[in-house]
Structure 1
Amino acid sequence: MKRKNEREGGFSRRTARPGSGRKGRKSDEKASEKEANTPSEKREYKGRGKNEKPTYGAYQERDPSKKSFRKPFSPLSKNRKNKDKSLSQPEYDLKSIQRSSPKDEDEIRLNKFIANSGICSRREADKLIEGGEINVNGKMVTELGYKVSRKDRVVYKGRAIRPEKPVYLLLNKPKDFITTTDDPLERKTVMHLVDGACEERLFPVGRLDRNTTGLLLFTNDGELSARLTHPAYEVKKIYQVTLDKPLAKNDLEAILAGVTLEDGLTMVDDLQVLSLDKTILGLEIHSGKNRIVRRIFAHFGYEVTALDRVMFAGLSKKDIARGKYRFLNEKEVINLKFMNKRKNKKRPQ
């Protein structure tokens, strides 16, 4: 029997595939019926492992009575009345660094109007206009050079928008807060930490991982946010990195020479050892790739146990306690504006 099967090119009993034959088909049908009758288990994102790959676990039901943070365009939080006067919102006089004429004050380009409202950058505003998503005084506008006055009613997604006064806020982010403006799972987000800081809608510039601490800038200046996050401007960040084991000398040299990851080559501006046991480092980098610091060290077999951003675009977290924030002063805002203007000259067309 076995030899006959082998000569005919079939499978012998010993080498038969599981599930083949009449009995195998019946068992497969029973298994599929069992799976169909068994409700699928809900799973959710739980974080990343040592290899920086995502891990998933059983879904946990959320408390429906738990209050989530206020949504964008929501009214001013009542908590702002009890804020410390030292955190009062400053007024910025930025006319000296803005190119504007008396005529521009009456009429401005529609994309600038949208960017000044804090929704997005001018380039993204052009896409909204071309896509027919913007209405002016009840009419759809698709002309890129269209000009509006501040008295015109500009509507986006059913809501009237208007240019807001600029706001720039610096947060010292703690752990276990997600950098997003909206989380469907109602987890703690950075928006909880700046809730009620001002009447204007704020959004974070870039992002920090859930377990990464340190500087995070908030603003409603869409144009500045786009420049600070665009790779062409090479905005520098300095991190304090804590590893699970001492950094080897050859790995330090390899990181400084440039690391090729799955998304291409990543260059490091500087890397210094800060502790005697060689587990605490100072890293200067301008790349804005997702989880880039953790991925660099995971590439060499290290796990980042703590990551803190101590400087961002020339701003430091001096005198800002963990979980607290402060408004930028006028000089700091002007420095950010001029820094991007200098970079803009080098920006490829």
Structure 2
Amino acid sequence: MEKVRLNKYLSTQGVCSRREADRYIDEGKVTVNGHIAMMGEKVDGTEEICFDGKPVSSAEEKKVVLAMNKPTGVVCSSKEKDNIIDYLKYPQRVYPVGRLDKDSTGLILLTNDGELMNEILKARNYHEKEYEVRVSKRITADFIRGMSQGVWLEELGVKTRPCKVKKIDAYTFRIILTQGLNRQIRRMCAYFDYRVVTLKRIRIMNIELGELKEGEWREVKGRELKELRGGVAHD
């Protein structure tokens, strides 16, 4: 079997994205045949590969994609308490595609398809994510205009991409982003002296939250899954 880089192997096995694999390898959390893995190391799957002390199976598992309505208080890092993996208790090993912060709710995808995860997460692909946000004071036309034009986030040293923003009522708006900076919407609102009261993600690409209640999940399949895979295949 042809050898591939360890980060690609871990991604293919659904352990994490390639970017996350590089971080875990750098942190010494991956071993190959008993030794701590090195960045750039190549494997063919016949080795004893462990992540965080647990063997990584090379057996082919059914690739699944789950859509879940993440409740408040649940974190998306598998290394923290009250994490989404423990909450879900899915019989196969799946990992969240990206994150929603602890105080936010709404749609998050989970999968064991590392390559699909990797493609969805690539910022250069401009995949849309839509959110419904309620803020602490009345929404003005200047606020909508400013948010949509992009906001300089001093703490991150970056200006957000232009985005679509639509007022829903006096205190609620919807926003469509094509990037996923850390606590981006909350930081953008704070720039205009608005505080986020509730934040819910309602769509990722073609996958919609729909009627899922907090804590509920469903499998993405059929035409919906085909459209999702098609959306990343053409990038």
Shift of 1:211: 1.5
Q: Quickly say closer, same or farther: Cα 1:320–1:123, change in 2 above 3 A.
A: closer
Cα distance in 1 between the residues matched to 2:149 and 2:206? 24
Cα distance in 2 between the residues matched to 1:141 and 1:147? 10
Secondary structure of 1:319's counterpart equals: coil
Deviations 1:185-230 (A, max 9, x none): x4x33224311x22x2121111111111100111122222222222
What's the counterpart of residue 64 of structure 2?
167
Cα distance in 2 between the residues matched to 1:161 and 1:211? 32
What's the counterpart of residue 325 of structure 1?
217
What's the counterpart of residue 165 of structure 2?
271
Q: Which has the higher strand share?
A: 2
The one-letter amino acid of 2:167's match is V
What's the counterpart of residue 44 of structure 2?
148
What's the counterpart of residue 133 of structure 2?
241
Cα distance in 1 between the residues matched to 2:227 and 2:168? 29
In the TM superposition, what are the counterparts of 1:180-195 in structure 2 within 5 Å? 180-183=77-80, 186=81, 188-195=82-89
Query: Structure 2: any 5+ residue segments left out of the alignment?
Result: none
What's the counterpart of residue 316 of structure 1?
208
2:14 corresponds to 1:118: yes
Q: Structure 1 vs Structure 2: percent identity of aligned residues?
A: 27
Cα distance in 2 between the residues matched to 1:223 and 1:283? 27
Cα distance in 2 between the residues matched to 1:177 and 1:123? 23
Q: Which runs of 4+ in 1 moved over 6 A?
A: 138-145
**Is the 8 Å Cα contact of residues 120 and 223 (structure 1) preserved in structure 2?**
no
Q: Quickly say closer, same or farther: Cα 1:221–1:267, change in 2 above 3 A.
A: same
| TM-score, with length taken from structure 1 | 0.57
Shift of 1:329: 0.5
Structure having the higher Rg:
1
2:101 corresponds to 1:209: yes
Cα distance in 2 between the residues matched to 1:124 and 1:341? 21
In the TM superposition, what are the counterparts of 1:1-349 in structure 2 within 5 Å? 107-111=1-5, 112-122=8-18, 128=25, 135=32, 148=44, 152-157=46-51, 159-163=54-58, 164-183=61-80, 186=81, 188-195=82-89, 197-198=90-91, 200-262=92-154, 263-275=157-169, 278-343=170-235
**Is the 8 Å Cα contact of residues 172 and 321 (structure 1) preserved in structure 2?**
yes
Shift of 1:123: 6.3
**Is the 8 Å Cα contact of residues 110 and 144 (structure 1) preserved in structure 2?**
no
Higher relative contact order (CA 8 A, sep 6+): 2
Shift of 1:260: 1.1
Query: Structure 1: any 5+ residue segments left out of the alignment?
Result: 1-106, 344-349
The number of aligned residues is 226
RMSD: 2.9
